């Protein structure tokens, strides 16, 4: 039995590791729920503050000259107009930044869902890796081909859930689409490896049936 499973040992090892990772990640996000929430809120606030700095920089410097040229307006309203406008804009900015950290923010909810999907994909792909690796061991194929197939699905099944976790942490700062694009190379490579890990043993399986072996 050990000799039969030896070529797919790498796949079995990675499959068990994916399951262990999925369980550990579920425990982590459960125990550190508040800490993760604070990290996501801090990321959202930092991203929003950066946007305000970038947007307000040129307009602020341009507008200062205009305010100097129109300084006599302070005399007509007792110096309150400019101050009120400034305070109003400041309060609005602070309100938006504060709102980015609230629990009902769609991006924060999306980020937490993606972190949870990291656990779900790790468990699902870990189980799939174990099943496919065991079936690959029974297929009439060269040992090196079996090793390649089990390694492909094992590596792809491990990196795919990791990409979801990275995506989740990046979502508050980059947005849902931006975070997805940022991990696209990892996601695409993982899907390709999983596909190869399934299609290779399937090819030898079908060839064995058609040839009557």
Annotated domain spans of the chain: 8-211
Query: Which pLDDT does position 83 carry in this prediction?
Result: 44
Q: From CA 83, how far away is CA 20, in angstroms rounded?
A: 59
Query: Which pLDDT does position 212 carry in this prediction?
Result: 65
Tokens standing for 15? Answer: 């499959």
Q: Which residues contact 127 (CB under 8 A, 6 or more apart)?
A: 15, 19
Give per-residue pLDDT as tens, 110-165.
999 999 999 999 999 999 999 999 999 999 999 999 999 999 999 999 999 999 99
Q: Give the pLDDT of the chain (213 residues) as one tens digit per residue.
A: 678 899 999 999 999 999 999 999 999 999 999 999 999 999 888 887 876 665 555 544 444 444 444 444 444 444 444 444 444 444 443 443 344 444 468 889 999 999 999 999 999 999 999 999 999 999 999 999 999 999 999 999 999 999 999 999 999 999 999 999 999 999 999 999 999 999 999 999 999 888 865
Q: From CA 171, how far away is CA 160, in angstroms rounded?
A: 17
Does the pTM surpass 0.85? The reply is no
Q: CB burial class (10 A; 0-12, 13-18, 19+) of residue 168?
A: buried
Query: Which pLDDT does position 210 carry in this prediction?
Result: 86
Query: Which pLDDT does position 98 carry in this prediction?
Result: 44
Q: CB burial class (10 A; 0-12, 13-18, 19+) of residue 18?
A: buried
Query: Which pLDDT does position 55 carry in this prediction?
Result: 54
């Amino acid at each position: 039995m050990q000799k039969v499973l030896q070529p797919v040992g790498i796949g079995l090892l990675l499959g068990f590791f994916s399951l262990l990772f999925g369980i550990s990640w579920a425990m982590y996000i459960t125990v550190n729920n508040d800490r993760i929430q604070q990290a996501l809120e801090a990321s959202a606030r930092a991203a929003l503050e950066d946007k305000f700095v970038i947007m307000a920089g040129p307009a602020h410097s341009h507008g200062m000259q205009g305010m100097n040229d129109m300084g006599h307006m302070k005399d007509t309203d007792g110096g309150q107009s400019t101050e009120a406008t400034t305070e109003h804009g400041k309060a609005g900015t602070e309100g938006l930044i504060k709102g980015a950290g609230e629990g009902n923010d769609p991006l924060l909810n999306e980020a937490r869902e993606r972190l949870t999907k990291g656990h779900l994909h790790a468990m699902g792909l870990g189980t799939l890796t174990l099943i496919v690796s065991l079936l690959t061991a029974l297929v009439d194929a060269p040992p090196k081909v079996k090793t390649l197939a089990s390694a492909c699905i094992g590596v792809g099944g491990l990196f795919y859930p990791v990409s979801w976790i990275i995506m989740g942490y990046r979502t508050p700062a980059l947005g849902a689409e931006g975070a997805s694009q940022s991990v696209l190379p990892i996601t695409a490579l993982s899907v390709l490896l999983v596909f190869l890990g399934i299609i290779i043993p399937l090819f030898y399986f079908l060839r064995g049936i058609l040839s009557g072996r």
